[in-house]
Amino acid sequence: MIGIVIIWLVLCFLSFGAWGLYFLLNRKKASRPWRLSTDKNYTPKISILVPTYNESNVIHFKLQNLKIMEYPKELLQIVVVDSNSTDKTISMVKDFVTQHPEINIEVVEDTVGKGKSSALNLALGYCKGDVVIVSDADCFWPRDILLRTLPFFADSSVGAISGPKVLLNPGQSHATKSEDTYLNSMNLIKLGESKTGLTLLFEGGFSAYKKEVLESFDPYNTGSDDCGTIVKLVEKNSRALFVPEGRFYTTFPNSWKERVSMKIRRASQLVRVFWKYWTLLAEKRIKSNRLTIAFNVFIYLLSPVFFVLLLPFTALVFIRFPYLAALLLLLFVPKVGPIFLEVIQGFVVLLCAFLTVALGKNFLRWQKPADRHLLTEEMLSRRDLI
């Protein structure tokens, strides 16, 4: 029985312990200063890509938000690329362009409609900036985001930057509260990774790339236009950073069903992304930050497997030692219960993602937005986003 307990403890560490250790290490690293050669006067030409599909509920707000950006207008280009919207999205964009000729906005219509990455790659051919920035139509930036983040590109080692997602409706439901907690934890990890090397997790609300290192979006066809795009940059030994100055605002669905659905879709993309990293490590095509990449591969691809192995051993140990189960519940559940449950949910989501990948299901094509109706003008005005 002692052998079973030892195996149980090892599996606990390889599943939950690995996540906890990685979080604690990066929380400490997050407080370190940046070791970068930034330049506050660095103002390159930029191209902002806004991919759309049936965004008539929010596109006017998005364009208003971009209109108030504090950045030299002669250095700013906006490219809206639409993928066969069936609502009034494209006509609303064209009306806005007509009403605001002082803003450099180009409209690209993707009539093929193969998905977001395909649309972004089409729009990339229209970009004239030295820095290409992607922002989803339901994500909104503070006025000074460009002036605060672009100086990071003055460092020659930096190829891409992204920022934290901030929810406009964090207290609206249990699902949004849980997502807010999750985001805060992940942001600490990504900041810690960035301070000492790079992060592999990017967000579509604000992701910026030096055009000179950006060949295409999602070149390995992982289904992820953000994290999948970073893979090629990492292969080129270019750093991808998470910077708090790049925060952006958006809403999140109120229901658990929609939250889990979104997470499985995202996790399926990440499984493909980290499998690619695994192959690149095995082929020795990645020369730097190998430890960070290997740890992420372990957490996203191997920890869920150890979690499955942990379940029967947990049942055996708790049946044999019921007092141990009671003690653990009393000591740990009040303190780390919500985080513990969030990690369990993460494992379940990843396991579901493994299944979708094994079945060959690929989330490349657009899906109709499910949470756009939650966004209100009052939310945006309160944050000075329009």
Looking up tokens 């996790």 gives: 267
List, in sequence order, the alpha helices (H) in 68-206. Answer: 89-99, 116-124, 145-149, 174-196
pLDDT tens digits for range 124-176:
999 999 999 999 999 999 999 999 999 999 999 999 999 999 999 998 888 89
What is residue 259's predicted lDDT score, i.e. its pLDDT? 86
What is residue 256's predicted lDDT score, i.e. its pLDDT? 83
What is residue 325's predicted lDDT score, i.e. its pLDDT? 66
What is residue 297's predicted lDDT score, i.e. its pLDDT? 96
Q: Are 130 and 212 in contact (CB under 8 A)?
A: yes
The DSSP-derived string for 309-351 is: HHHHHHHHHHHH-HHHHHHHHHHHHHHHHHHHHHHHHHHHHHH
pLDDT tens digits for range 54-84:
999 999 999 999 999 999 999 999 999 999 8
What is residue 89's predicted lDDT score, i.e. its pLDDT? 94
Q: Are 377 and 62 in contact (CB under 8 A)?
A: no
The pairing of beta strand 248-250 with beta strand 207-210:
unpaired
Looking up tokens 């599943």 gives: 15
What is residue 328's predicted lDDT score, i.e. its pLDDT? 65
* Of 108, 254, 93, nearest in space to 177 by CA: 254
What is residue 331's predicted lDDT score, i.e. its pLDDT? 60
Note the pTM of the prediction, 2 decimals: 0.92
DSSP summary character for residue 302: I
What is residue 327's predicted lDDT score, i.e. its pLDDT? 67
Quote the crossing angle between the two packed helices 290-297 and 256-282, to the nearest 10°: 130
Query: Alpha-carbon distance 283 to 344, whole Å?
Result: 32
CATH, range 1-386: 3.90.550.10
Query: Alpha-carbon distance 122 to 116, whole Å?
Result: 10
The amino acid that residue 68 corresponds to is I
Per-residue pLDDT for the chain (386 aa), expressed as one digit of tens each?
Answer: 688 888 988 998 999 888 889 999 999 999 999 999 999 999 999 999 999 999 999 999 999 999 999 999 999 999 999 998 999 999 999 999 999 999 999 999 988 777 899 999 999 999 999 999 999 999 999 999 999 999 999 999 999 999 999 999 998 888 899 899 899 999 999 999 999 999 999 998 999 999 999 999 999 999 899 999 999 999 999 999 999 999 999 999 888 888 888 899 999 999 999 999 999 999 999 988 999 999 999 999 999 999 999 999 888 888 887 776 666 666 665 566 667 778 888 999 999 999 999 888 776 555 655 666 788 899 999 999 99
Domains in the chain: boundaries: 1-386
